[in-house]
A and B are shown apart, each in its own frame.
Chain A
């Protein structure tokens, strides 16, 4: 019969090999399919790091289960196993590693959150208004309104979100940002697009039967093209509102 320690060493070796191989495989993947903003980049890094860390955790349990299922079968033997009620060292190590992981993850997550939220300043502002089931975008710099979202590449954009009826959620997957539109409140989010192009946007919060098709298009272009586009837009019917003060200065 194999002595208990031998079992531990063999299982640990299998675990280590599988963990390293798995972690290396995962580390190379871009997980968020399209990354078109600074924020999505930060999220992707967080995603990859968490995925790499989960490999050894996953393997620990899987190897433990599989190894036991193969080597510790009773095979008709009616005898009991050893009367082990616990192991102080092992329990302490388990707790210690768990706490260390949690604190590390928390610190990393908090830093990532602060990084994503960033400073409360912007080069460009868009007001988003959601209703069942459509999106409206207003550009305070010119008073223009549109059904598509147009923002400049490489500049920090302040997105101010409102809803008149039920809760919606403003989401551009390629930007990695999501923010609910809440009746009675104004919510906001910042984003810096990094790649020019056209991206789909969606409502991410159930808002009735039109929810499925509550989409919009986001166009990221350079400043000059955006200015030209803005000039062509008619101010909305509510366009009499004065250009808001505050962060809107660059245009």
Chain B
């Protein structure tokens, strides 16, 4: 009866049953003569499949037991926490935050490879003027690339490193709501799969922004994307609540807010953004779904709807979302700098304040995506101001990083290399952002490759460089083994050079007038595009080095010590990997997180008194 235990097998069966009931009943209704659209079949089929999947994986069983008033089987609940060293727990509804963190990381990196492959197809089409794959295929590929990479940037650091590390860094045994935590992970596989198979449903060609009316006339694949996006949104909201309660209620004694590691602060602000903003876009996408499936007219101009309204709602989330992607990366970077510079984090209170200010301001800048959309002219002025203003708190991140590095004792281990790469990339992203914030220059740059280059420098620079830095830095903690320093350095240099060789020329292409989201371009841009494609393929190859390094080191890398970096934050004061309950004894915290150089603090070993 093993197969009938909650697990992946039962989840797949549950999903299939749900899909059959949902889609089947509507198909039957269609056969008996009711007017049923493909959209309705997909919608109900997906919804019931998702519920079936969650039931099958066991997401609701403890809550249901409790709801019907039965005694919860303590042994079973304990088992749901997983057994150390058992690989099967990564494929189960496991409530241990460390397992969930690894699940998120593995999912994110897998998705990163798939979306990266889509990017390779794009660069294949763009390598020469003329068409190879064709315009329709190109539009569908870049839409899928965008949708997946956004998901990677949203979930990788928050869901992966955040889940794994935040409870340990504040001295807690788990997240506040372990079952909700597992639920928010297990909400993801089905929508991700749905986006991955959207070409079977006709693909979607309106980009990840899904502006109506284009998205209203697009194929069924478009609807798959909308359904998936809303589901991922629900998962984000659940995880945001979980982080906030964890951080505010479960800190070890002595861990005052201003003693929290900066990474925890970044995740806290990120969670506030996720909690507040995500519901807006989920609402907008639901309205768009209703327009497609139920015949409403929220965004149908011909029937009194407003297409610009969608853009306001969309960007009201999606600009804060840029910081949901970026802030965790900034936090990871600032977490790593002091350790490898052997100095306290420079201007820590100001950095905390800057994260909070970024969070607040990020809600007031959304309309800079709409400078040429036809919104009211006067609105350009305040939005230009707030957009430029947000560069002040963002600049403080550079102040903290540079101030820490200056006069430090720098150890150029792989994580520190990624820190330097991050600072360069994020700096280019920040500076070029000013050109897009300024309305006069944006009028010419809007919707060109300048924008493409800019947001890759900010999001790859912020989220992906931060993700790589963090993955290398915490790899010994998570796996108990050390990665290969040589392969790590190869990955860093190859990736960073290829990344810059890919995206720096795109600024020039944009200035020369190459538009975003086109499959073809004037012949005189052919040379540079060929170079860009060549460089982009190198990015992909360099990631293969990373994957090889991680897989091999996890299986048979040298054993890592508990604290190989001589770091002072709590996660390094427990074993590598940490025991199921994280600490043998919950530590008491007696000083700030970065008391390097003696100073006021105490030596690392004595810091966290058991």
Interface size class of A (residues with CB under 8 A): 35 or more
B391 within 8 A of A: yes
CB-CB under 8 A from B207, the residues of chain A are: 206
Decide: B403 and A208 in contact? CB cutoff 8 A. no
Within 8 A of A (CB), among B392-417: 392, 395-396, 398-399, 402-403, 405-412
A3 CB to closest chain B CB, in angstroms? Answer: 11
CB-CB under 8 A from B16, the residues of chain A are: none
A204 with B434, Cβ < 8 A, contacts A68-B405, A74-B411 known:
no
Decide: A83 and B596 in contact? CB cutoff 8 A. yes
B600 within 8 A of A: yes
A143 within 8 A of B: no
B373 within 8 A of A: yes
B514 CB to closest chain A CB, in angstroms? Answer: 10
Decide: B307 and A102 in contact? CB cutoff 8 A. no
A100-121 Cβ-contact flags toward B at 8 Å (1 or 0): 0010011011101101110000
Decide: B441 and A43 in contact? CB cutoff 8 A. yes
A229 within 8 A of B: no
Decide: A182 and B214 in contact? CB cutoff 8 A. no
Decide: B438 and A84 in contact? CB cutoff 8 A. no
Decide: B420 and A212 in contact? CB cutoff 8 A. no
Q: How many A-B residue pairs have CB under 8 A?
A: 250
B424 within 8 A of A: yes
Among A68, A91, A98, A213, contact of B406 (Cβ-Cβ < 8 Å): A68
A172-206 Cβ-contact flags toward B at 8 Å (1 or 0): 01001111101111010000000000000010111
A79 with B342, Cβ < 8 A, contacts A116-B443, A206-B206 known:
yes
CB-CB under 8 A from B395, the residues of chain A are: 94, 98
B344 within 8 A of A: yes
A9 within 8 A of B: no
Decide: B444 and A32 in contact? CB cutoff 8 A. yes
Decide: A106 and B402 in contact? CB cutoff 8 A. no
A246 within 8 A of B: no
* Interface-lining segment among B100-108, B259-267, B320-328, B378-386: B378-386
Decide: A82 and B407 in contact? CB cutoff 8 A. yes
A112 with B440, Cβ < 8 A, contacts A80-B409, A90-B403, A207-B214 known:
yes
Decide: A178 and B444 in contact? CB cutoff 8 A. yes
Decide: B407 and A72 in contact? CB cutoff 8 A. yes
B87 CB to closest chain A CB, in angstroms? Answer: 37
CA distance A85 to B129 in the complex (A): 54
Among A42, A80, A95, A169, contact of B372 (Cβ-Cβ < 8 Å): A169
A77 with B307, Cβ < 8 A, contacts A83-B597, A169-B372, A204-B446 known:
no
A204 with B447, Cβ < 8 A, contacts A72-B409, A167-B211 known:
yes
Decide: B438 and A50 in contact? CB cutoff 8 A. yes
A86 with B350, Cβ < 8 A, contacts A81-B343, A109-B384 known:
yes
CB-CB under 8 A from B600, the residues of chain A are: 83
Decide: B402 and A113 in contact? CB cutoff 8 A. no
* Interface-lining segment among A58-66, A122-130, A146-154, A220-228: A58-66
Q: In the complex, what residue of chain B is closest to A70 when comparing beta carbons?
A: B410
A13 CB to closest chain B CB, in angstroms? Answer: 16
Among A82, A94, A184, contact of B597 (Cβ-Cβ < 8 Å): A82
A87 within 8 A of B: yes
B432 CB to closest chain A CB, in angstroms? Answer: 8
Nearest 3 pairs of A and B residues by beta carbon: A184-B301, A83-B599, A83-B597
Report B's interface with A, CB cutoff 8 A: 135-136, 139, 205-207, 211, 213-214, 217, 301-302, 305-308, 341-350, 372-374, 377, 380-381, 384-385, 388-389, 391-392, 395-396, 398-399, 402-403, 405-412, 420, 423-424, 427-428, 431, 434-435, 437-441, 443-444, 446-448, 511-513, 515-520, 566, 595-601
Give 23 pairs: A residue, B residue, CB < 8 Å, sorted on A: A43-B444, A64-B405, A65-B424, A72-B405, A72-B408, A73-B409, A74-B411, A79-B409, A80-B598, A81-B343, A86-B350, A102-B389, A108-B438, A110-B381, A113-B381, A116-B443, A178-B372, A202-B513, A206-B207, A206-B211, A208-B217, A209-B139, A213-B135
